């Protein structure tokens, strides 16, 4: 039976310690609700507000992409080294063990293939299903200047509205049609439109000239895509420049999973993003991990999954 008389004497309300209320450090996110912030803090590490997301959603429009033929075999071993996994709900349910603790950024638009007009997308996931798979963010493609610009912006707006109802942030992905230049003028336009319409963070491309202005002009965090496979040192240089010029990290796919040693590469990318390591030193790390056999292991030990 509780001792009611003793309650006040034993409790300590730390009367001399004011309750703290720290600003949420992630760019442009301080006014969000608790659930949004909590999910964003799972994706962007609170220590540095940066992330290394592993993008493996390519199959949603290009089928069995090289390196993703067997996600269960090639991607599971990389999950421990990623801060978040960008993936479709189909691949998630069929190939990723539900025991993983890494946040999922759920590909939520689709509806076209490489055989057709790429900008012709629709929303491809119900918000209820995103909740069911415990998504930490929703990803939607936006084709500024594309044939279906208007519809893709509509998809973003609907996803943002649905995400806001459930406290799930939205990542807009700036899809760039073949006919458009990936320069600072275009990327600045596209990323700003996405942020203005409510995206909580934006995936875009790095550009050699003017990227700092693109990042500064976007009021929410930017992460960069890797794009087509590059020599490892070049991919590391791109990541280094991007974070030095204001990106909050990478959402990289082919430049990791198409490497000879993907596990070594994702660790080298981490060194750049989270430790500000130079591309040259990160490349040395890549080579030493690769020669030590990192990157050739398959998904066998249960500890590798988490
Ligand atoms: C398409 C996408 C992807 O499918 C993917 O995430 C791209 O990643 P990467 O360019 O690094 O392979 O977002 O626009």
Consecutive 10-residue averages of pLDDT for the chain (306 residues): 64 94 95 98 97 97 95 96 98 97 97 90 97 98 93 97 98 87 94 98 97 98 97 98 98 97 97 98 97 61 44
CA distance 211 to 231: 21
CA distance 109 to 37: 23
User: pTM value?
Assistant: 0.93
Cβ of 210 below 6 Å from ligand 1? no
CB neighbour burial string for 237-248, b if at least 16 within 10 angstroms, e if fewer? bbbbbbbebbbb
By most ligand atoms within 8 Å of CB, the mutation choice from 247, 253, 254, 266 for ligand 1 is 253
In Å, how far from its chain's centre is CA 5? 54
CA distance 80 to 102: 8
Cβ of 58 below 6 Å from ligand 1? yes
Active site residues: 203
Neighbours of 59 (CB within 10 A): 17
Counting from 1 in the atom list of ligand 1, the atom nearest the Cα of 250 is 11
At residue 70, the pLDDT reads 97
At residue 5, the pLDDT reads 59
The two three-digit tokens of residue 264, written as one number: 């070594």
- How close is the Cα of 290 to the center of ligand 1, in Å? 24
By most ligand atoms within 8 Å of CB, the mutation choice from 51, 54, 57, 203 for ligand 1 is 57
Q: In the chain, helix, strand, coil percent, each to 5?
A: 40, 15, 45
- How close is the Cα of 254 to the center of ligand 1, in Å? 8
Number of Cα atoms under 13 Å in the Cβ half of residue 189? 12
E strands, the chain, in order: 51-55, 84-87, 104-107, 109-110, 122-123, 137-142, 170-174, 201-204, 222-225, 249-252
Cβ of 67 below 6 Å from ligand 1? no
Number of Cα atoms under 13 Å in the Cβ half of residue 7? 5
Tokens 């609907």 correspond to 158
């Amino acid at each position: 039976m509780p001792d009611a008389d003793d309650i006040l004497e034993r409790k300590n309300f730390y009367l001399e310690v004011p309750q703290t209320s720290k600003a949420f450090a992630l760019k442009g996110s301080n006014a969000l609700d608790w659930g949004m912030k909590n999910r964003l803090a799972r994706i962007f590490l609170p220590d540095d507000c940066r992330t290394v997301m592993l993008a493996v959603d390519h199959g949603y429009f290009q089928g069995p992409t090289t390196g993703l033929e067997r996600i269960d075999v090639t991607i599971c071993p990389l999950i421990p080294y990623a801060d978040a996994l960008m993936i479709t709900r189909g691949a998630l349910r069929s190939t990723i063990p539900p025991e993983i603790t890494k946040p999922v950024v759920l590909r939520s638009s689709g509806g076209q293939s490489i055989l057709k007009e790429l900008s012709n997308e629709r929303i491809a996931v119900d918000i209820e299903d995103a909740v069911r798979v415990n998504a930490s963010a929703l990803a939607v493609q936006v084709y500024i200047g594309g044939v279906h610009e208007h519809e893709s912006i509509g998809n973003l707006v609907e996803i943002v509205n649905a995400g806001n109802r459930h406290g799930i942030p939205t990542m807009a992905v700036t899809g760039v049609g073949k006919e458009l230049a990936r320069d600072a003028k275009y990327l600045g336009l596209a990323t700003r439109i996405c942020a203005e319409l409510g995206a909580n963070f934006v995936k875009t491309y790095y550009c050699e000239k003017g990227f700092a202005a693109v990042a500064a002009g976007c009021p929410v965090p930017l992460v960069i895509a890797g794009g087509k496979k590059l020599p490892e040192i070049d991919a590391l240089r791109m990541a280094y420049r991007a974070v030095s010029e204001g990106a909050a990290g990478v959402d990289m796919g082919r430049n990791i999973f198409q490497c000879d040693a993907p596990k070594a590469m994702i660790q080298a990318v981490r060194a750049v993003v989270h430790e500000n390591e130079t591309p040259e030193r990160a490349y040395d790390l890549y080579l030493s991990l690769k020669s030590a056999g990192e990157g050739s292991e398959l998904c066998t030990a249960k500890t590798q999954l988490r």
